[in-house]
Chain A
Amino acid sequence: MTDLLWLIPLLPFLGAALNGALGPRAPKGLVTAVGVGVPGLALVLALGILWDYGTRLAPAPFEQVAYAWTAGPSSIDVAFLLDPLSAVMLFVVTFVGFWIHVYSVGYMGHEGGYQRYFAYLNLFMGAMLLLVLGANYLVMFVGWEGVGLCSYLLIGFYYDQKIPPEAGRKAFIVNRIGDFAFLVGMFALFATYGTLRYTEIFAAVAAAPERATAPYAFGLSLAAFVALCFFIGATGKSAQIPLHVWLPDAMAGPTPVSALIHAATMVTAGVYIVVRTNVLYQLAPGVSLLVAAVGAATAIFAATIGLAQDDIKKVLAYSTVSQLGYMFLAAGLGAYTAAIFHLGTHAFFKALLFLGSGSVIHAMAGEQDMRRMGGLKKALPITYWTFLLAALAIAGIPPLAGFFSKDEILAAAAGEGHWLLYAVGLATAGLTAFYMFRAVYMTFGGRFRGTEEQRRHLHESPPSMAVPLVVLAVGSVVAGWFGIPQVLAFGADVNWLHHWLEPVIAGVGDTAHAEHHLPLAAEWGLVLLAVAVAVGGILLARRIYGGDRALEGERRVVSALGPAHPVLVHKYWVDEWYDRLIVRPLALIAYGFWKVVDGWIIDGALHLTASVTELTGDLGRFSTTGNVRNYLLYFFLGVVVLLGWIAL
């Protein structure tokens, strides 16, 4: 069964091609059947393969060459790898992806471009699966670029409006910067090891770690260099500082897109690649620390912005950036399992949050400003309860998913002795709980603040949208139970995820990651502290925004923050700085090239050629006198010359 691995990425591509070929006038039923059926098929297949692999082959990696297109080195063939890490990713992508496809049927049902949407979404699934299942960096990169493309296509889905195409462009260009760094890293690896295959590279590094730690470029060792390059790529794809600016703008796309691409899957690709390449990060402690620091900084940075946003989707976007920061914090600290754990749990509850917000927006006929919502608890019960569950999960309330994953990250920080990082993580947890429940209360609590027309339009979502909400809610609850750390299980070793991923996270040489353990009491203390902070955040939000006090609470917060508030609202003016320092100079240079190089020089050369020809013609025509005698003369002179040449 595992032999059918190659089919999993192929199916969505076929679906995309089919839907693409059907054209905009295809019957909606057919489009739906293909667009949802294909991911469904892929999910079933994936589950089957995962079962087969899990019971039979694990933990040995299963590699399959789907298409050997080179005659030479085979490290860049179209090959797929199923190992514990890619298995987890496969499950998350197919499962969450499928339910979001189902949700899209209801959400996008009334929109134009239905067929185009599903074609793009399937295309995305295909690319994402290529990314996670690739057996070498090249296949992975093809998927990496592919998801970037689909992100662009789907962000700019409403292309007839002004903002979406610009947001799509922004996403693509910012990603490109990261991609460039990623490519450089790939080149370095290939130049050194002559291969891009995971298994070969990791084995080579493990066999000779000195080679990877020897100085390579810019004062860095090879491991550090590649790790840094890959991380820059990851900051682009996973929206970390300084390349995070595209994610909030990406909210211009349809909400299911935000859920799938910008919460559950694409943005996690950066985390995946760091974890996949963990051998190199383990050999580059400096870069790893950088990763952790950037992750932590991003986490708190985004969280502060999130609590000043009024658009519900923007709140969630910044929340995503913040949670991704957590994942990088974990990865940088060497807690790769924790990073993947949080990736998985986050996929569930963040997707749920986005889909829930989509449900709200759908009910409010397109309204996204929370200040005009309120009191939706009664009108949208399913949405409310699932949303609430997800909010509790993300805040880290036990026994929901977020609690376990977040706790493991904080424990790793504390365990390594990085108390600053721990403090930042803890503070962010508090902020997370706060801004999340600010959103909950503003949206669902109190009285309805919208217009009469909107009130009449309010309705709970259809089953196609409600069922995925429930499914994801279940996931948000149980997902955490796969990685319960030993401590909390009172000594019982039930951390399934940790054991499952162990083969992939093996230490390298003498830098084998030793688990630092705090004394049991200290660990429990930290756990309780984290929960307390989370609960505190929730309660604070309830006090300020609860009941009917949402708008009034907002006013008080704004005045309390004073001058800091505009800074938060304007996202620390990062975009404005980028625009002034980078975008405008580049635009100026481009303009110069256009006007001078293209306009004067190139066009000038062309015009010159044309002018010369024209001039020659203008002068030459005086020889066409129309006078026969003249022509005879020319003829005769020609003959004379010819004869002379022959005879003499």
Chain B
Amino acid sequence: MVPIAWYLLLAALLFAIGTVGALTRRNGITIFLSIELMLNSVNLTLVSYSRLLDDRTGQLVVFFVLAVAAAEAAVGLALFIAVYRHRRTIDLDRVNLLRW
């Protein structure tokens, strides 16, 4: 039997890794990927709790999270393309029009 805490810890670790990636990388795509990683860690957490509490609600929430993640990825990438057209780069450090 695997203690549930291990699953949760794994999820936390993945989340942390994803966070570091989202905050550290300059490449926009990589940042997106890191965010997806974070979302997945959350999914793992939810499923773990579902197992722990013997309640199907967690799985259902994951279901919706999946759908929302898809929508978000689509819109995000569309934005990405729009930005790329104008700035010719996906280095987010160069996309700083709102600088003081």
The answer to whether A162 has its CB under 8 Å from any CB of chain B is: no
The answer to whether B92 has its CB under 8 Å from any CB of chain A is: yes
The answer to whether A625 has its CB under 8 Å from any CB of chain B is: yes
Q: Which residue of A lies closest to B93 (CB)?
A: A627
Interface contact B23-A624, CB-CB below 8 Å: no
Q: Min CB distance, B57 to chain A, in Å?
A: 22
Given A627-B92, A628-B92; A633-B99 close (CB under 8 Å): no
Interface contact A632-B96, CB-CB below 8 Å: no
Q: Min CB distance, B39 to chain A, in Å?
A: 15
What is the CA–CA distance of A628 and B28 in the complex, to the nearest angstrom? 10
Q: Min CB distance, A626 to chain B, in Å?
A: 3
The answer to whether B97 has its CB under 8 Å from any CB of chain A is: yes
The answer to whether B95 has its CB under 8 Å from any CB of chain A is: yes
Interface contact B23-A636, CB-CB below 8 Å: yes
Interface contact B100-A636, CB-CB below 8 Å: no
Q: Give the residue among A622, A624, A629, A636 with the most B Cβ atoms within 10 A.
A: A629
What is the CA–CA distance of A636 and B100 in the complex, to the nearest angstrom? 22
Interface contact A629-B92, CB-CB below 8 Å: yes
Encoded as 1 (CB less than 8 Å from any A CB) or 0, chain B from 64 to 99 comes to: 000000000000000000000000000011011111
Chain B interface residue count: which class?
10 to 19
Q: Which residue of A lies closest to B24 (CB)?
A: A629
Q: Which of B22, B24, B31, B100 contacts A626 (CB 8 A)?
A: B100
The answer to whether A110 has its CB under 8 Å from any CB of chain B is: no
The answer to whether A621 has its CB under 8 Å from any CB of chain B is: yes
Q: Which of A622, A625, A636 contacts B96 (CB 8 A)?
A: A625
Q: Min CB distance, A155 to chain B, in Å?
A: 62
Q: Min CB distance, A310 to chain B, in Å?
A: 76
What is the CA–CA distance of A624 and B100 in the complex, to the nearest angstrom? 6
Interface contact A627-B96, CB-CB below 8 Å: yes
Given A627-B93, A629-B93; A622-B100 close (CB under 8 Å): yes
What is the CA–CA distance of A622 and B93 in the complex, to the nearest angstrom? 15
What is the CA–CA distance of A571 and B35 in the complex, to the nearest angstrom? 96
The answer to whether B19 has its CB under 8 Å from any CB of chain A is: yes
B-chain residues with CB within 8 Å of residue A624 when the two chains form the complex: 98-100
Contacts between chains A and B (CB distance < 8 A), count: 31
Interface residue ranges of A597-648 to B (CB < 8 Å): 621-622, 624-629, 632-633, 636
Encoded as 1 (CB less than 8 Å from any A CB) or 0, chain B from 15 to 28 comes to: 00001001110100
What is the CA–CA distance of A621 and B98 in the complex, to the nearest angstrom? 11
What is the CA–CA distance of A624 and B97 in the complex, to the nearest angstrom? 10
Chain A interface residue count: which class?
10 to 19
B-chain residues with CB within 8 Å of residue A636 when the two chains form the complex: 19, 23
Q: Which residue of A lies closest to B96 (CB)?
A: A626
Q: Which residue of B lies closest to A635 (CB)?
A: B23
Q: Which residue of A lies closest to B94 (CB)?
A: A627
Q: Min CB distance, A619 to chain B, in Å?
A: 11
Q: Which residue of A lies closest to B99 (CB)?
A: A626
What is the CA–CA distance of A632 and B25 in the complex, to the nearest angstrom? 12
A-chain residues with CB within 8 Å of residue B23 when the two chains form the complex: 629, 632-633, 636
Interface contact A628-B99, CB-CB below 8 Å: no
B-chain residues with CB within 8 Å of residue A622 when the two chains form the complex: 100
What is the CA–CA distance of A625 and B19 in the complex, to the nearest angstrom? 20
Interface contact B22-A632, CB-CB below 8 Å: yes
Q: Min CB distance, A564 to chain B, in Å?
A: 82
Q: Min CB distance, A635 to chain B, in Å?
A: 9
Interface contact B99-A625, CB-CB below 8 Å: yes
A-chain residues with CB within 8 Å of residue B93 when the two chains form the complex: 627, 629
Encoded as 1 (CB less than 8 Å from any B CB) or 0, chain A from 168 to 210 comes to: 0000000000000000000000000000000000000000000
Q: Min CB distance, A471 to chain B, in Å?
A: 85
Q: Min CB distance, A28 to chain B, in Å?
A: 69
Q: Min CB distance, A342 to chain B, in Å?
A: 84
B-chain residues with CB within 8 Å of residue A629 when the two chains form the complex: 23-24, 26, 31, 92-93
Interface contact A626-B98, CB-CB below 8 Å: yes
Interface contact A626-B97, CB-CB below 8 Å: yes
Q: Min CB distance, B14 to chain A, in Å?
A: 15
What is the CA–CA distance of A627 and B24 in the complex, to the nearest angstrom? 12
Interface contact B100-A621, CB-CB below 8 Å: yes
What is the CA–CA distance of A627 and B99 in the complex, to the nearest angstrom? 7
Q: Min CB distance, B93 to chain A, in Å?
A: 6
Q: Which residue of B lies closest to A639 (CB)?
A: B19
Q: Min CB distance, B36 to chain A, in Å?
A: 15
Encoded as 1 (CB less than 8 Å from any B CB) or 0, chain A from 282 to 294 comes to: 0000000000000
What is the CA–CA distance of A625 and B93 in the complex, to the nearest angstrom? 10
Q: Give the residue among A621, A622, A632, A633 with the most B Cβ atoms within 10 A.
A: A632
Q: Min CB distance, A647 to chain B, in Å?
A: 12
Q: Which of A628, A632, A633 contacts B95 (CB 8 A)?
A: A628
B-chain residues with CB within 8 Å of residue A627 when the two chains form the complex: 92-93, 96, 99
Q: Which residue of A lies closest to B19 (CB)?
A: A636
Q: Which residue of B lies closest to A628 (CB)?
A: B92
Interface residue ranges of B1-52 to A (CB < 8 Å): 19, 22-24, 26, 31
What is the CA–CA distance of A628 and B93 in the complex, to the nearest angstrom? 8
A-chain residues with CB within 8 Å of residue B99 when the two chains form the complex: 624-627
Interface residue ranges of A345-386 to B (CB < 8 Å): none
Q: Which residues of B contact A (CB under 8 A)?
A: 19, 22-24, 26, 31, 92-93, 95-100
16 contacts across the A-B interface (CB closer than 8 A): A622-B100, A624-B100, A625-B96, A625-B99, A625-B100, A626-B95, A626-B97, A626-B99, A626-B100, A627-B92, A628-B92, A629-B26, A629-B31, A629-B93, A633-B23, A636-B23
Instruction: Report the 5 A-B pairs with minimum CB-CB distance, sorted nearest first.
Output: A626-B96, A626-B99, A626-B98, A621-B100, A624-B100
Known pairs A626-B99, A632-B22, A633-B23. 7 more at Cβ < 8 A?
A624-B99, A625-B100, A627-B92, A627-B93, A627-B96, A627-B99, A628-B92
